Structure 1
Amino acid sequence: MRIIAIDDEDLALEGCISAIKKAIPAAHVDGFTSGKQAFEVIDQINPQIAFLDVEMRTDNGIDVAKKLQAKNPRINIIFVTGYSEYMREAFGLYASGYIMKPVTPAKIQDAFEHLRFPVEEESGRKLKVHTFGEFEVFTKEGVPLDFAYSKTRELLAVLIDANGAMRTFDQIMDRIWQDEDDPSGHRSYMRNLFADMSRIFFENDCGDALIRRRGEAAINKEYFDCDYFDYLAGKREDTGFAGEYMNQYSWAEPTLGK
């Protein structure tokens, strides 16, 4: 859940953020001391809830709310103020709540339970994987992962193809270096590939996506939004499958056949 809080008083802002985190521990909260500061990054944050001080030195909370609603008509606006006279104007904007200072976790929780627009919980999946056509991996925001080695991407493709099952290092090497007489000679290089993959996963807040045991490895499917996984789960019409699967890897042909 993405939440922003805007208040031009540092102590008030810190108090509001603290109360939000106590009331909603799973929320990601960004704080700003002005509407201008918030709008510089608002498209990246895409908040579902906004806590706004009504009267600030450089901004009017009502005006900030109107701009937020113009960007997202379903954003939940909760006004925070020490002045009750703004209440009528605030609710004229169909705000989700109105909190009188000081802000407390109990007041936050009450406002959260009466939101105008339901907030959908974000999926725990943090990486997007395309297997139908060319194999590619993206962040949740759609940015391709920047692996240090091209073989790291292929290593991940092998693990995705395994559908969450463990694969021994020998099985993995037989796939990646299938045209060589002795793939086992790449065991040291494969350790670099695993290190590269682990680095990328940690940078994208999914360090547990790689499962390693002695001599074998797998991926935790819960971290991946993958068309292949969806297809196997029966969601075939939504996957866009058109007879192509990991086109750049010849070892994927048996899976395509199935």
Structure 2
Amino acid sequence: MRIIAVDDEELALEGCISAIKKAMPSADTHGYTSGKKALEEVDEINPQIAFLDVEMRTENGINIAKKLQEKNPRINIIFVTGYSDYMKEAFGLYASGYIMKPVTAAKVKSEFEHLRFPITNEETAKQNKLRVHTFGEFEVFTENGVPLDFVYSKTRELLAVLIDANGAMRTFNQIMEKIWQDEDDAGSHRSYLRNLFADMTRIFTELGCSDALIRRRGEAGINKEYFECDYFDFLDGKREDSGFTGEYMNQYSWAEPTLGKLFQLSDGIW
């Protein structure tokens, strides 16, 4: 479950996030003291729930909600406020809920149980696995065998980097150093990298496996439960059945060190 919380009072924001984490410890929660900053990062996070303070000093939670709904009509908006004056306007936006301050874990849990747009059960979502071929050319398919149609060719390479990490998190700098390894200033592509993440998030969401991508501040990884992958099978000990014949992600030169490790592990099985 991916959640954002916006409140320009830092102590109130910390209290809200603490209550969310108590109610849903596994949630990926991001807090912002600025609605503008939250909107700048919303495409990367793709939140399913947004806790919004209604009345802030320079911003209005109602307006932020409208902009979030333009990006995702099915986002669950939960307004947080110390006043009941805005309740009619809030529910005019078909908000999921309305919490009066102080925010507590009990109040948050109650809202989770009555979301306007229920969050897809993760076990059901995991049925929509993606098939990944790494031995030879790298490619990703839906369960029906259709290649994923990314907007940017670099999005596929970004996914290849995360697959190569075998579920470990990689910092944005580590990712950029691989994708743009032939450039002196690989770090200058940070804004382009955000576009790649947005592209990946879009297609994963369309396929019903939005939680396959894990995003945290400054780093990213993949949830291996969403992937059927020959490379993962090989590392899990299924070496003879994995299809390894001495080739790995042929189109990416940065994958050569992993290929060397695969040779060491293969012990002449092919």
Q: TM-score, normalised by structure 2?
A: 0.55
Measure how far apart 1:46 and its partner are.
0.6
Counterparts of 1:1-258 in structure 2 under 5 Å? 1-122=1-122, 123=125, 128-131=130-133, 135-136=137-138, 142=156, 143-146=158-161, 159=231, 166-167=238-239, 175-176=245-246, 193=261
| Partner AA of 2:245 in structure 1 | R
Equivalent position SS for 1:29 = strand
Q: Within 2, Cα distance between the matches of 1:84 and 1:112?
A: 20
Measure how far apart 1:135 and its partner are.
3.8
CA 133–49 in structure 1, closer or farther in 2 if over 3 Å, else same: same
Tell me if the contact between 1:3 and 1:48 (Cα under 8 Å) persists in the aligned partners: yes
Equivalent position SS for 2:114 = coil
Q: Within 2, Cα distance between the matches of 1:120 and 1:80?
A: 24
Equivalent position SS for 1:17 = helix
Q: Which moved more, 1:127-136 or 1:22-31?
A: 127-136
Measure how far apart 1:145 and its partner are.
2.1
Tell me if the contact between 1:78 and 1:95 (Cα under 8 Å) persists in the aligned partners: yes
Q: Within 2, Cα distance between the matches of 1:93 and 1:192?
A: 56
Tell me if the contact between 2:135 and 2:244 (Cα under 8 Å) persists in the aligned partners: no
Gaps of 5+ in 2: 141-147, 149-154, 166-177, 179-227, 248-256
Q: Within 2, Cα distance between the matches of 1:21 and 1:163?
A: 34
**Percent of residue pairs bearing the same amino acid type:** 56
Tell me if the contact between 1:130 and 1:137 (Cα under 8 Å) persists in the aligned partners: yes
CA 172–22 in structure 1, closer or farther in 2 if over 3 Å, else same: closer
Measure how far apart 1:95 and its partner are.
0.5
Measure how far apart 1:131 and its partner are.
3.7
Measure how far apart 1:174 and its partner are.
8.4
Aligned residues: 179
Q: Larger Cα Rg: Structure 1 or Structure 2?
A: 1
Equivalent position SS for 1:44 = helix
Gaps of 5+ in 1: 150-155, 178-188, 196-214, 218-250, 252-258
CA 160–54 in structure 1, closer or farther in 2 if over 3 Å, else same: closer
Q: Within 2, Cα distance between the matches of 1:173 and 1:98?
A: 54
| Partner AA of 1:175 in structure 2 | T
Q: TM-score, normalised by structure 1?
A: 0.57
CA 161–31 in structure 1, closer or farther in 2 if over 3 Å, else same: closer
Measure how far apart 1:193 and its partner are.
2.0
Q: Within 2, Cα distance between the matches of 1:193 and 1:132?
A: 14
CA 58–45 in structure 1, closer or farther in 2 if over 3 Å, else same: same
Equivalent position SS for 1:167 = coil
Tell me if the contact between 2:53 and 2:81 (Cα under 8 Å) persists in the aligned partners: yes
